[in-house]
Every structure is written in structure tokens, then in C-alpha cells.
Structure 1
């Protein structure tokens, strides 16, 4: 995992970590369920998944050809 993402995860409140873990599980199983990062390009590989009832989100890239999802950013709004 990218060091920046690790740092961002460390700032998430401890009570939110189970919700974040659930979201990571969603990314593993159904990464295309996130909303498009760019609404003008709904089929783009960059997506966002809301966490904790919209109090945060994960921005990620779906790399189907590599059977991989790269988390780019974890944002916590509180």
C-alpha cells in the first residue's frame, strides 16, 4: 500500500476502522460498484466509494487487466 494512503488511514478515527475494512472488502469483490470519479466519464477506471455513511470516501483505480485495485486516497470528513 502506498505510504500516503497508510498515513491517511492512520488519521481515521479508531471506531471507523471496521467500516473502512468493510469498504476494502467491497473493493476486493466488486470494485466497479463505486461511483465514477469523473461523472462525465462514467466508465472510467478511477472510482470513489463512500464509507461511514458519507463521512469519508476512498478514491481508487480499477486495473482489470492486472486483476488489481489501487487505492489512491482515503479522505475522512468527520
Structure 2
């Protein structure tokens, strides 16, 4: 995942940091990764806006009070 983040444009890094801050506090606000299983802990968050579009795919581990980011994609 570090390679994926390193490949992002500099302007996107600030947006990504904001999204990661939100995920830290409210991870269940992301969309289900699999729409047929809306209660599953694997989620996604779309970000970017006018700069392009990115997606963070992550897993919520409530029992460990942890969120693991699995993938960061950028379509800019």
C-alpha cells in the first residue's frame, strides 16, 4: 500500500489524509465493498472530486478497534 500512496499526486495526499482521519473516527460511514452484503466489514470510500477520483478499500476490525487499509486506487 505504501507504493500506492507514494504514486499519488502531491495535491491528492492532503485529501487522502483527511479521508484517513475520517475513517479513523467513523469507518462504518464508507460504502459496502460488496453491495449484496451491506453489513460486511469490508468497505470502500470514494474521494477526490475535481482532481480525479480515488478509492480506498479497507477492512474494519471492530474487536481490535482497528481499520486496515487494503488498497488505495487513483484514477486521475
Task: Classify the TM-score, shorter chain.
Answer: over 0.9
Compute the TM-score of the two structures, normalised by the length of structure 2: 0.94
Secondary structure of the residue aligned to 1:42 is coil
- Which of 2, 9, 12 does residue 13 from structure 1 map onto? 9
* TM-score normalised by structure 1 residue count: 0.92
Structure 2 unaligned regions, length at least 5: none
Deviation for aligned residue 1:51: 1.2
**Partners in 1 of 2:47 and 2:9 — Cα distance?**
13
User: Which residue does the alignment assign to 1:68?
Assistant: 66
2:42 counterpart of 1:41: no
- Residue 28 of structure 1 corresponds to 24
Specify every segment of 5 or more residues in structure 1 that has no aligned partner in the other structure, as ranges. none
CA offset at residue 26 of structure 1? 0.8
> How many residue pairs were aligned?
74
Instruction: Give secondary structure in 2 for the equivalent of 1:69.
Output: strand
